[in-house]
Structure 1
Amino acid sequence: MSADRDAQRSRVYEAEAVVRTVFDRADRGARELELFGSTITLPVERKFASIDSVQDYADRVLALNWVRERWAGAAVPVAVRARAGAAAAHYEPGAATIAVPLHTRGTAWALRELVVLHELAHHLEPGGEALAPHGPEFVDRYLVLVGEIIGGEAAFLLRTTMLENGVRIT
Protein backbone atom coordinates (compact mmCIF):
# COMPACT_ATOMS: atom_id res chain seq x y z
CA MET A 1 0.00 0.00 0.00
CA SER A 2 1.46 3.37 -0.98
CA ALA A 3 1.51 6.42 1.26
CA ASP A 4 -0.92 8.14 -1.15
CA ARG A 5 -3.52 5.48 -0.66
CA ASP A 6 -3.72 5.99 3.09
CA ALA A 7 -2.66 9.60 3.43
CA GLN A 8 -4.93 10.27 6.42
CA ARG A 9 -3.81 7.33 8.52
CA SER A 10 -1.47 9.21 10.85
CA ARG A 11 -3.90 12.12 11.26
CA VAL A 12 -6.76 9.73 12.11
CA TYR A 13 -4.58 7.90 14.66
CA GLU A 14 -3.41 11.18 16.21
CA ALA A 15 -7.00 12.40 16.60
CA GLU A 16 -8.04 9.07 18.12
CA ALA A 17 -5.18 9.22 20.63
CA VAL A 18 -6.40 12.63 21.80
CA VAL A 19 -9.99 11.40 22.08
CA ARG A 20 -8.94 8.29 24.02
CA THR A 21 -7.06 10.55 26.45
CA VAL A 22 -10.15 12.73 26.91
CA PHE A 23 -12.25 9.62 27.62
CA ASP A 24 -9.63 8.35 30.07
CA ARG A 25 -9.82 11.67 31.93
CA ALA A 26 -13.62 11.46 31.88
CA ASP A 27 -13.37 8.08 33.59
CA ARG A 28 -11.45 9.82 36.39
CA GLY A 29 -14.21 12.39 36.91
CA ALA A 30 -13.76 15.02 34.18
CA ARG A 31 -16.82 13.94 32.21
CA GLU A 32 -18.02 17.47 31.36
CA LEU A 33 -15.93 19.57 28.98
CA GLU A 34 -16.19 22.64 26.80
CA LEU A 35 -15.44 22.08 23.15
CA PHE A 36 -15.65 24.80 20.52
CA GLY A 37 -18.13 26.80 22.56
CA SER A 38 -20.32 23.84 23.48
CA THR A 39 -20.42 22.21 26.89
CA ILE A 40 -20.84 18.46 26.57
CA THR A 41 -21.02 15.57 28.97
CA LEU A 42 -19.21 12.55 27.62
CA PRO A 43 -21.02 9.22 27.76
CA VAL A 44 -19.32 6.17 29.21
CA GLU A 45 -17.11 4.27 26.79
CA ARG A 46 -17.27 0.51 27.24
CA LYS A 47 -14.05 -1.30 28.15
CA PHE A 48 -13.44 -5.00 27.64
CA ALA A 49 -11.73 -7.62 29.77
CA SER A 50 -11.01 -10.29 27.18
CA ILE A 51 -11.04 -11.28 23.53
CA ASP A 52 -14.33 -13.10 24.21
CA SER A 53 -15.97 -9.89 25.43
CA VAL A 54 -14.69 -7.99 22.36
CA GLN A 55 -16.05 -10.78 20.13
CA ASP A 56 -19.45 -10.63 21.83
CA TYR A 57 -19.56 -6.84 21.42
CA ALA A 58 -18.57 -7.00 17.73
CA ASP A 59 -21.22 -9.65 17.08
CA ARG A 60 -23.87 -7.53 18.79
CA VAL A 61 -22.94 -4.40 16.80
CA LEU A 62 -23.08 -6.31 13.50
CA ALA A 63 -26.48 -7.75 14.48
CA LEU A 64 -28.08 -4.32 15.00
CA ASN A 65 -30.91 -3.82 12.50
CA TRP A 66 -29.78 -0.34 11.43
CA VAL A 67 -26.19 -1.54 10.92
CA ARG A 68 -27.38 -4.44 8.74
CA GLU A 69 -29.64 -2.14 6.73
CA ARG A 70 -26.90 0.43 6.14
CA TRP A 71 -23.90 -1.82 5.39
CA ALA A 72 -24.06 -5.18 3.62
CA GLY A 73 -20.77 -6.16 5.25
CA ALA A 74 -22.57 -6.52 8.57
CA ALA A 75 -23.87 -9.87 7.33
CA VAL A 76 -20.29 -11.17 7.18
CA PRO A 77 -19.18 -12.50 10.57
CA VAL A 78 -16.02 -10.99 12.02
CA ALA A 79 -13.54 -12.91 14.15
CA VAL A 80 -11.58 -11.31 16.97
CA ARG A 81 -8.15 -12.55 18.00
CA ALA A 82 -5.33 -11.44 20.26
CA ARG A 83 -2.49 -9.57 18.60
CA ALA A 84 1.10 -10.12 19.70
CA GLY A 85 2.27 -6.53 19.20
CA ALA A 86 1.20 -3.79 21.57
CA ALA A 87 1.38 -0.82 19.20
CA ALA A 88 -1.89 -1.12 17.30
CA ALA A 89 -5.05 -3.06 16.65
CA HIS A 90 -5.74 -3.90 13.03
CA TYR A 91 -8.28 -5.42 10.66
CA GLU A 92 -7.43 -8.29 8.30
CA PRO A 93 -9.88 -7.99 5.37
CA GLY A 94 -9.08 -11.36 3.77
CA ALA A 95 -9.85 -13.21 6.99
CA ALA A 96 -12.51 -10.77 8.29
CA THR A 97 -10.56 -10.64 11.55
CA ILE A 98 -9.93 -7.93 14.11
CA ALA A 99 -6.59 -8.33 15.92
CA VAL A 100 -6.44 -6.57 19.28
CA PRO A 101 -3.43 -6.29 21.60
CA LEU A 102 -4.16 -7.46 25.12
CA HIS A 103 -2.69 -6.23 28.40
CA THR A 104 0.86 -5.02 27.91
CA ARG A 105 3.00 -3.04 30.33
CA GLY A 106 0.08 -2.66 32.72
CA THR A 107 -2.36 -1.26 30.18
CA ALA A 108 -5.09 -2.58 27.93
CA TRP A 109 -5.41 0.54 25.77
CA ALA A 110 -6.98 -1.33 22.83
CA LEU A 111 -9.65 -3.21 24.79
CA ARG A 112 -12.10 -0.34 24.44
CA GLU A 113 -15.13 0.62 22.41
CA LEU A 114 -13.49 3.33 20.27
CA VAL A 115 -10.82 0.92 19.04
CA VAL A 116 -13.31 -1.87 18.28
CA LEU A 117 -15.64 0.51 16.41
CA HIS A 118 -12.66 1.74 14.37
CA GLU A 119 -11.88 -1.82 13.30
CA LEU A 120 -15.56 -2.57 12.62
CA ALA A 121 -15.67 0.49 10.35
CA HIS A 122 -12.95 -1.24 8.29
CA HIS A 123 -14.95 -4.48 8.29
CA LEU A 124 -18.03 -2.66 6.97
CA GLU A 125 -16.15 -1.26 3.96
CA PRO A 126 -18.36 -1.89 0.90
CA GLY A 127 -16.70 -4.25 -1.56
CA GLY A 128 -13.90 -5.37 0.73
CA GLU A 129 -10.60 -3.55 1.14
CA ALA A 130 -10.76 0.20 0.67
CA LEU A 131 -8.63 2.18 -1.75
CA ALA A 132 -7.91 4.60 1.09
CA PRO A 133 -8.31 2.62 4.32
CA HIS A 134 -8.60 5.79 6.44
CA GLY A 135 -10.18 7.98 3.79
CA PRO A 136 -13.36 10.07 4.10
CA GLU A 137 -15.69 7.09 3.52
CA PHE A 138 -14.06 5.17 6.36
CA VAL A 139 -14.17 8.23 8.63
CA ASP A 140 -17.87 8.67 7.90
CA ARG A 141 -18.62 5.02 8.81
CA TYR A 142 -16.58 5.34 11.98
CA LEU A 143 -18.30 8.57 13.04
CA VAL A 144 -21.75 7.07 12.40
CA LEU A 145 -20.90 4.03 14.51
CA VAL A 146 -19.50 6.16 17.34
CA GLY A 147 -22.46 8.56 17.22
CA GLU A 148 -25.13 5.89 17.21
CA ILE A 149 -23.50 3.47 19.64
CA ILE A 150 -21.45 5.52 22.12
CA GLY A 151 -23.40 8.75 21.65
CA GLY A 152 -23.62 12.04 19.81
CA GLU A 153 -21.29 13.77 22.26
CA ALA A 154 -18.57 11.20 21.56
CA ALA A 155 -19.04 11.64 17.81
CA PHE A 156 -18.88 15.43 18.22
CA LEU A 157 -15.60 15.14 20.13
CA LEU A 158 -14.15 12.72 17.58
CA ARG A 159 -15.33 14.75 14.57
CA THR A 160 -14.02 18.08 15.85
CA THR A 161 -10.70 16.52 16.90
CA MET A 162 -10.33 14.93 13.48
CA LEU A 163 -11.11 18.21 11.74
CA GLU A 164 -8.55 19.99 13.96
CA ASN A 165 -5.99 17.35 12.90
CA GLY A 166 -6.71 17.91 9.21
CA VAL A 167 -8.69 14.72 8.59
CA ARG A 168 -10.97 14.91 5.55
CA ILE A 169 -14.41 13.73 6.55
CA THR A 170 -16.27 14.24 3.26
Structure 2
Amino acid sequence: MPVRDSQRARVYESETLLRTMIDRADAAEAGRSVEIAGSTVTLPIERRFASIDSVQTYVDAVLALEDVRRRYPRASRRCRVRARAGQGAAHYEHDAAVIAVPLHVAGHAWAMRELVVLHEIAHHLEDRDPETTPHAAHGPEFTARLLDLLDRVVGPEAAFVLRCIYGRNDVRVG
Protein backbone atom coordinates (compact mmCIF):
# COMPACT_ATOMS: atom_id res chain seq x y z
CA MET A 1 0.00 0.00 0.00
CA PRO A 2 1.52 3.37 -1.01
CA VAL A 3 2.38 5.85 1.71
CA ARG A 4 1.06 9.39 1.30
CA ASP A 5 3.90 11.86 0.68
CA SER A 6 2.18 14.50 2.81
CA GLN A 7 5.01 17.04 3.03
CA ARG A 8 6.20 16.86 -0.58
CA ALA A 9 4.76 20.25 -1.58
CA ARG A 10 6.21 21.93 1.54
CA VAL A 11 9.64 20.38 0.85
CA TYR A 12 9.60 21.65 -2.76
CA GLU A 13 8.37 25.07 -1.65
CA SER A 14 11.18 25.28 0.91
CA GLU A 15 13.84 24.32 -1.62
CA THR A 16 12.45 26.82 -4.13
CA LEU A 17 12.77 29.58 -1.52
CA LEU A 18 16.40 28.61 -0.80
CA ARG A 19 17.21 28.60 -4.53
CA THR A 20 15.54 32.01 -4.90
CA MET A 21 17.57 33.40 -1.99
CA ILE A 22 20.78 32.12 -3.60
CA ASP A 23 19.77 33.51 -7.00
CA ARG A 24 19.12 36.92 -5.45
CA ALA A 25 22.46 36.78 -3.63
CA ASP A 26 24.15 35.98 -6.95
CA ALA A 27 22.57 39.09 -8.49
CA ALA A 28 23.05 41.41 -5.52
CA GLU A 29 25.81 43.97 -5.54
CA ALA A 30 25.59 44.36 -1.78
CA GLY A 31 26.84 40.86 -0.98
CA ARG A 32 25.64 37.41 -0.03
CA SER A 33 24.54 38.03 3.58
CA VAL A 34 20.98 37.41 4.70
CA GLU A 35 19.30 37.59 8.08
CA ILE A 36 17.32 34.54 9.10
CA ALA A 37 16.18 33.32 12.52
CA GLY A 38 18.11 36.09 14.25
CA SER A 39 21.38 35.20 12.54
CA THR A 40 23.30 36.83 9.73
CA VAL A 41 24.39 34.16 7.28
CA THR A 42 26.55 34.39 4.17
CA LEU A 43 24.93 32.29 1.47
CA PRO A 44 27.35 29.99 -0.37
CA ILE A 45 27.89 30.07 -4.11
CA GLU A 46 25.93 27.25 -5.73
CA ARG A 47 27.48 25.16 -8.49
CA ARG A 48 25.74 25.24 -11.88
CA PHE A 49 26.15 22.61 -14.57
CA ALA A 50 26.57 22.98 -18.33
CA SER A 51 26.02 19.36 -19.38
CA ILE A 52 24.87 15.93 -18.28
CA ASP A 53 28.54 14.92 -18.15
CA SER A 54 29.28 17.69 -15.64
CA VAL A 55 26.31 16.60 -13.50
CA GLN A 56 27.58 13.00 -13.66
CA THR A 57 31.06 14.10 -12.57
CA TYR A 58 29.52 15.98 -9.62
CA VAL A 59 27.32 13.03 -8.58
CA ASP A 60 30.31 10.68 -8.77
CA ALA A 61 32.39 13.08 -6.64
CA VAL A 62 29.69 13.46 -3.96
CA LEU A 63 29.13 9.69 -3.75
CA ALA A 64 32.91 9.15 -3.48
CA LEU A 65 33.29 11.43 -0.44
CA GLU A 66 34.60 9.33 2.43
CA ASP A 67 32.16 10.68 5.02
CA VAL A 68 29.20 10.23 2.63
CA ARG A 69 30.23 6.60 1.98
CA ARG A 70 30.70 5.96 5.69
CA ARG A 71 27.26 7.38 6.58
CA TYR A 72 25.26 6.06 3.61
CA PRO A 73 25.94 2.48 2.45
CA ARG A 74 24.06 3.10 -0.80
CA ALA A 75 26.68 5.71 -1.80
CA SER A 76 28.79 2.81 -3.05
CA ARG A 77 26.13 2.03 -5.67
CA ARG A 78 26.76 3.84 -8.96
CA CYS A 79 24.14 6.46 -9.84
CA ARG A 80 23.83 7.30 -13.51
CA VAL A 81 22.64 10.70 -14.77
CA ARG A 82 20.58 11.12 -17.92
CA ALA A 83 18.81 13.94 -19.72
CA ARG A 84 15.08 14.30 -19.25
CA ALA A 85 12.91 15.72 -22.01
CA GLY A 86 11.06 18.98 -21.40
CA GLN A 87 11.26 21.38 -18.47
CA GLY A 88 9.46 19.11 -16.00
CA ALA A 89 10.91 18.23 -12.63
CA ALA A 90 14.12 16.33 -12.19
CA HIS A 91 13.50 12.90 -10.72
CA TYR A 92 15.19 9.78 -9.38
CA GLU A 93 14.52 6.24 -10.63
CA HIS A 94 15.23 3.96 -7.66
CA ASP A 95 15.39 0.57 -9.39
CA ALA A 96 17.78 1.76 -12.11
CA ALA A 97 19.68 4.19 -9.82
CA VAL A 98 19.25 7.00 -12.35
CA ILE A 99 18.86 10.75 -11.91
CA ALA A 100 16.96 12.35 -14.80
CA VAL A 101 17.58 16.09 -15.22
CA PRO A 102 15.93 18.48 -17.69
CA LEU A 103 18.50 20.20 -19.92
CA HIS A 104 18.81 23.79 -21.04
CA VAL A 105 15.70 24.78 -23.00
CA ALA A 106 15.62 28.22 -24.62
CA GLY A 107 18.45 29.37 -22.38
CA HIS A 108 16.73 28.30 -19.17
CA ALA A 109 18.23 25.50 -17.06
CA TRP A 110 16.50 25.62 -13.68
CA ALA A 111 17.43 22.02 -12.83
CA MET A 112 21.09 22.12 -13.84
CA ARG A 113 22.16 23.32 -10.40
CA GLU A 114 23.66 21.87 -7.26
CA LEU A 115 20.61 22.08 -4.99
CA VAL A 116 18.41 20.17 -7.44
CA VAL A 117 21.06 17.49 -8.00
CA LEU A 118 21.66 17.09 -4.23
CA HIS A 119 17.90 16.58 -3.78
CA GLU A 120 18.07 13.66 -6.22
CA ILE A 121 21.23 12.28 -4.60
CA ALA A 122 19.36 12.31 -1.27
CA HIS A 123 16.77 10.03 -2.91
CA HIS A 124 19.57 7.76 -4.20
CA LEU A 125 21.00 7.38 -0.68
CA GLU A 126 17.67 5.99 0.64
CA ASP A 127 18.37 2.43 1.81
CA ARG A 128 14.77 1.22 1.78
CA ASP A 129 13.31 -0.17 -1.42
CA PRO A 130 10.04 1.73 -2.07
CA GLU A 131 8.44 -1.45 -3.44
CA THR A 132 9.16 -3.66 -0.42
CA THR A 133 9.18 -1.00 2.31
CA PRO A 134 6.74 1.78 1.40
CA HIS A 135 7.57 5.19 2.85
CA ALA A 136 6.99 8.85 2.10
CA ALA A 137 9.56 9.86 -0.51
CA HIS A 138 9.93 13.33 1.04
CA GLY A 139 9.41 12.34 4.66
CA PRO A 140 11.52 13.19 7.70
CA GLU A 141 14.30 10.74 6.81
CA PHE A 142 14.64 12.30 3.36
CA THR A 143 14.79 15.86 4.70
CA ALA A 144 17.42 14.82 7.25
CA ARG A 145 19.55 13.27 4.45
CA LEU A 146 19.22 16.39 2.31
CA LEU A 147 20.22 18.68 5.19
CA ASP A 148 23.18 16.41 5.94
CA LEU A 149 24.30 16.52 2.29
CA LEU A 150 23.93 20.30 2.17
CA ASP A 151 26.02 20.61 5.32
CA ARG A 152 28.76 18.28 4.05
CA VAL A 153 28.89 19.40 0.40
CA VAL A 154 27.61 22.98 0.06
CA GLY A 155 28.25 24.24 3.58
CA PRO A 156 26.63 24.56 7.00
CA GLU A 157 25.15 27.94 6.06
CA ALA A 158 23.00 26.40 3.32
CA ALA A 159 21.86 23.63 5.67
CA PHE A 160 21.05 26.17 8.40
CA VAL A 161 18.97 28.33 6.06
CA LEU A 162 17.04 25.34 4.69
CA ARG A 163 16.44 24.03 8.22
CA CYS A 164 14.98 27.45 9.16
CA ILE A 165 12.79 27.45 6.05
CA TYR A 166 11.66 23.88 6.83
CA GLY A 167 10.68 25.05 10.31
CA ARG A 168 8.69 27.98 8.94
CA ASN A 169 6.94 25.66 6.44
CA ASP A 170 6.18 22.92 8.99
CA VAL A 171 8.44 20.36 7.28
CA ARG A 172 9.38 17.51 9.61
CA VAL A 173 13.02 16.45 9.77
CA GLY A 174 14.01 13.00 11.08
Q: Same fold (TM over 0.5)?
A: yes
Query: RMSD between aligned alpha carbons?
Result: 1.3
Amino acid at match of 2:154: I
- Give structure 1 regions of 4+ aligned residues with deviation exceeding 3 angstroms: none
Give 3-state SS (helix, strand or coil) of 1:6's partner: coil
Question: Are positions 1:160 and 2:164 aligned together?
Answer: yes
Between the aligned residues of both structures, percent identity stands at 59
Amino acid at match of 1:62: L
Give 3-state SS (helix, strand or coil) of 1:85's partner: coil
Give 3-state SS (helix, strand or coil) of 2:4's partner: helix
Query: Which deviations, in whole Å up to 9, do the C-alpha atoms of 1:113-154 show, x marking residues without a partner?
Result: 100110000000013336110000000000000011101110
**2-structure distance, mates of 1:96, 1:118:** 14
C-alpha deviation, 1:5, in angstroms: 2.2
**1-structure distance, mates of 2:102, 2:74:** 24
**1-structure distance, mates of 2:106, 2:163:** 30
Amino acid at match of 1:161: I
> Which residue matches 1:54?
55
Amino acid at match of 1:32: S
Moved more, 57-66 or 23-32: 23-32
Give 3-state SS (helix, strand or coil) of 2:101's partner: strand
- Equivalent pairs counted in the alignment come to 169
**2-structure distance, mates of 1:96, 1:52:** 16
Amino acid at match of 1:148: R
Question: Are positions 1:125 and 2:129 aligned together?
Answer: no
- Written as runs of structure 1 = structure 2, the 5 A alignment for 1:15-164 is 15-29=14-28, 30-129=31-130, 131-164=135-168
Output the TM-score relative to the length of structure 2.
0.93
Output the TM-score relative to the length of structure 1.
0.95
C-alpha deviation, 1:85, in angstroms: 2.8
Structure 1 residue runs without a partner (length 5+): none
